[in-house]
Amino acid sequence: MTIYDSHYINGAWHKAHNPAVFEVHDSSTEEVMATVPQGTAEEATQAVLAARAAFPAWSALSVEARCVYIDKIVAGLKARTDEMATAIAREVGMPIKMAKMIQVGGPVFNWGNAAKAARAFHWEEQVGNSLVVREPIGVVGCITPWNFPLNQITLKVAPALAAGCTVVLKPSEIAPVNAMILADIIHAAGLPAGVFNLVNGLGPVVGEVLASHPEVDMVSFTGSTRAGKRVAELAAATVKRVTLELGGKSASVILPDADMAAAVKGTVGACLLNSGQTCSAHTRMLVPVQRYDEVKALVQATIAKFTLGPSLDENARLGPLVSAAQRERVLGFIRQGLEEGAELVAGGPDKPAFDQGYFVQPTVLRVQANDTLAREEIFGPVLVILTYENEEEAIHLANDTIYGLGGGVWSADLDHAVAVARQIRTGQVDINGAPFNGNAPFGGYKQSGNGRENGRYGLEEFLEYKAMQFPVTAKS
C-alpha cells in the first residue's frame, strides 16, 4: 500500500494539515491500495493564492516557453506509462491493455496536442482599427472525475497551462493516485512555483473553495449533472467562467438499412467501454421494431464475447466497476428495470463468479421510452434497447432526454446518416462507428454541460478577448 501524506502547493509537497485520509481501493481485489490526505478549505485557499501569485510571470512567458515545459511533461508521462497504467487499472477497473492505450495513451497525446494547438494558434488579429488579442483568463480551478481520471485532468490542465493560466487541481478522491504521479512528473519538469497546484479533498470542502473563491477566474468541472449545478451556483456569485462536462444518455440510432451486425457490435462496444463508466457511452440502442428479433440475437452473441476479469489480467476484456457503491447503484438500476417490466436480453443482477472485486455482468434490457432505465444515466455495463416504428419516432426518441453529449447513427447511405445526425441535439455523433477525433470539440448540449474540450477548441475556453482600438487617421 502506498501512503501519500502531502498536497502539492506552490512548487513543493506540503504535509497535510488534516490527519484524515481517503482510502483508495483496488477495484479487482477490494483491498486498500493507497491513501491520500483529505484536504481542508485552508489548504485549498493556500493553493489558490499561490496560483494567483504565479499568474503574472507565467502568463508573460512566450507561448513557446510554456510549451517547452509541456514537452517535458509529455516525456515524463511516456517514461512512466507502465506505472501510470497499472495505477489506473487498479483504481478504475479498466483492463490493463486498454488502460495503457486509452487511460495513459490518450493523455500523452492530449498533453502534446495542447502544446501543438497553442503553437499553431492565432493569438492576435487586426480587425479594422482594432487589434484583437487573446489572453489567458487567469487562475483556473479544475475539478475532475474518476472514470477517465488522468485524461480528464489532462484536458483541463494541459490547455490551461498552454494558454498561460495557472491551475489548482482537485482530482477525484476515488481515483487520485494517477494525479499524484502526474504532480510528481510536473514537478520534475520544473514548472515555476505556483503554476500547478494539487489539493485532494471532498467536493463540498475543496471543490467549493475553487468554485467560490474570488481569486479563481474560471472553474472547469467534469462530473455529475447534480454536482455541476452546484459548481455553477457557487461560481455565479463572482461571475466566473464555468465549463461543465456532465452526464449523458446517448442514443445509437440504427436505421433499417444499416449493417446490423456491425451496428450492434459497434454500439455494444461504445456502451461497455470502461465497463460503461463513460459519460458519452452509447447506452440506448434504437432499432426498427421489425428487426428486433435479429438484433436481439446479435446482441446476445456480442455480449458473450466480453470476458470479465480482474483489471491486471491480460485476457480480461471487461473489468470491475470502480467501487462497491457504484456496483450497488448499477445493480439497483438493473433490478428496478426488471421490476418495471423490462425484458432481460443478456446478463442480469446475479453475481459473477468472482470472490472479490466490484464486478457486474454486462447487461442488456429491452425497455419502453418512459422507463427509468431509458432516462437515467446508469454509469455501468448496461445497454437498453428501444424499438421504433419509423425514422421520425427514432429521432424523437434520440432527443427525448435531458442530456445531449454523444450518440451514433448507422446507415448504408452515408448522406442519409448525416441528415439524421443533423437532427440529433447532441455534441458529438459518430457515423457508422467512426473513431474518436482528439482535435474535434467534445462537449454537450442541454444538461450535458457547456464549453468544449480537445484541440484548439479546448484551448480557447481558457482565453479572454481583448480589443485595442487605434485612432483612425483622416486619410484612412
The span from the CA of 225 to the CA of 210, in Å, is 18
Of the CA atoms within 13 Å of residue 277, those in its CB half-sphere come to 27
Q: Tell how far CA 431 is from the center of its chain.
A: 21
The span from the CA of 383 to the CA of 251, in Å, is 10
Q: Are 282 and 252 in contact (CB under 8 A)?
A: yes
**Catalytic one among 67, 142, 165, 279?**
279
294 catalytically annotated: no
Q: 385 has which bridge partners?
A: 285, 366
The span from the CA of 451 to the CA of 189, in Å, is 29
67 catalytically annotated: no
Q: What is the DSSP string of 89-124?
A: HHHH---HHHIIIIIIHHHHHHHHHHHHHHHH---E
**Catalytic one among 173, 245, 377, 453?**
245
Three-state secondary structure call for residue 318: strand
Q: Which amino acid is at 49?
A: L
* CB-based burial label for 237 (10 Å; 0-12, 13-18, 19+): exposed
Q: 6 has which bridge partners?
A: 15
Q: Are 143 and 207 in contact (CB under 8 A)?
A: yes
Listing from the earlier edge strand, what are the strands of the sheet with 32-37?
A: 2-3, 32-37, 21-25
Three-state secondary structure call for residue 56: helix
The span from the CA of 164 to the CA of 64, in Å, is 11
Q: 12 has which bridge partners?
A: 9
* CB-based burial label for 441 (10 Å; 0-12, 13-18, 19+): middle
H/E run at residue 372: helix 372-375
* CB-based burial label for 241 (10 Å; 0-12, 13-18, 19+): middle
CA distances (Å), 58 to each of 52, 179, 231, 324, in order? 10, 22, 26, 42
The span from the CA of 175 to the CA of 162, in Å, is 25
Q: Which active-site residues does the annotation give?
A: 245, 279
